[in-house]
């Protein structure tokens, strides 16, 4: 049995990693940072009940600190970091899992880097799951595209397609999102191969000036880089204080 701790920004992000958690022998915790709108919290609880009834060891938790969608990097505090590290230590996971740093959503990128830092500090295996990213031209996006780094490939059951549809149906509040993403997700899963990164210490993206959220004027990549540099410095100071 593997104990997995998923550090995710939004309830529904887990749809990108179904082959990793759709295993009854695993003990899985989804920890979500963004808790507004609250309807997504209720939907994730519904998914938890559904999977528990099916015999899966899956639990859901939410941050006790307030985070705004798209602004996790601006909302996180020193106390929030300490509480998160304490929660991870309490759960004693074998793997820390996050979405890849790929320029698709600024919250995904920030939490990917944070998860990498925590995994390195606590000596826990770090796993990155691809979500979505900009195309090279900057127009449109690609779903679950694995970067050109060493990756792990696993062969998956056709049942994953059914599970992906079930997840989307539970998160009905995100129907606009599913119009754009679900076809790509189903297409990836229909290949019956799943690829992800393990213990890869490099950033997963290679899309300088082609961030999807920047193209859509939702965030600034230069600001994000500065916020991540601040995160690294703050995190190192925390470790020094703890020691």
Q: Measure the CA–CA gap between 20 and 4, rounded to whole angstroms.
A: 9
Lookup: tokens for 218 = 């939702």
Residue among 85, 168, 115, 165 nearest 8 (CA): 115
Looking at residue 212, its pLDDT comes to 74
Q: Measure the CA–CA gap between 228 and 212, rounded to whole angstroms.
A: 18
Provide the angle, in degrees to the nearest 10, between the axes of the packed helices 221-242 and 78-91. 70
- Cα dihedral 24, 29, 33, 35 in deg (nearest 10): 70
Q: Measure the CA–CA gap between 27 and 120, rounded to whole angstroms.
A: 21
> What CATH architecture applies to the domain 3-242?
3-Layer(aba) Sandwich (3.40)
- Are the CB atoms for 157 and 195 separated by under 8 Å? no
Q: Where are the domains of the chain?
A: 3-242
Q: pLDDT digit string (tens) for 32-80?
A: 999 888 899 999 999 999 999 999 999 999 999 989 898 898 888 889 9
Rg (CA), the chain: 17
Looking at residue 194, its pLDDT comes to 93
Q: pLDDT digit string (tens) for 185-219?
A: 999 999 999 999 887 655 545 545 567 777 777 77
Q: What is the mean pLDDT of residues 149-175?
A: 92
pTM of the model: 0.92
């Amino acid at each position: 049995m593997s104990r997995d701790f998923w550090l995710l920004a939004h309830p529904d992000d887990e749809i990108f990693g179904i082959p990793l958690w759709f295993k009854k022998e695993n003990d899985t915790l989804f920890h979500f940072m963004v808790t507004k709108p609250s309807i997504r919290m209720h939907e994730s609880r519904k998914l938890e009940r559904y999977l528990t009834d099916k015999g899966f060891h899956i639990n859901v938790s939410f941050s006790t600190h307030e985070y705004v969608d798209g602004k996790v990097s601006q909302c996180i505090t020193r106390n929030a970091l300490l509480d998160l590290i304490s929660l991870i230590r309490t759960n004693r996971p074998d793997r820390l899992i996050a979405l890849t740093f790929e320029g698709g959503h600024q919250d995904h990128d920030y939490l990917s880097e944070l998860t990498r830092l925590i995994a390195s500090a606590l000596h826990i295996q770090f796993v990155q799951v691809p979500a979505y990213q900009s195309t090279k031209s900057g127009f449109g996006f690609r779903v679950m595209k694995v970067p050109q780094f060493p990756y792990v490939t696993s062969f998956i059951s056709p049942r994953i397609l059914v599970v992906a549809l079930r997840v989307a149906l539970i998160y009905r509040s995100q129907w606009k999102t599913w119009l754009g993403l679900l076809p790509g997700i189903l297409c990836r899963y229909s290949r019956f191969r799943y690829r992800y990164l393990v213990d890869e210490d490099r950033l997963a993206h290679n899309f300088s000036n082609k961030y999807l959220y920047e193209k859509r004027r939702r965030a600034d990549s230069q600001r994000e880089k500065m916020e991540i540099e601040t995160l690294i410095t703050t995190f190192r100071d925390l470790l020094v204080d703890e020691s």
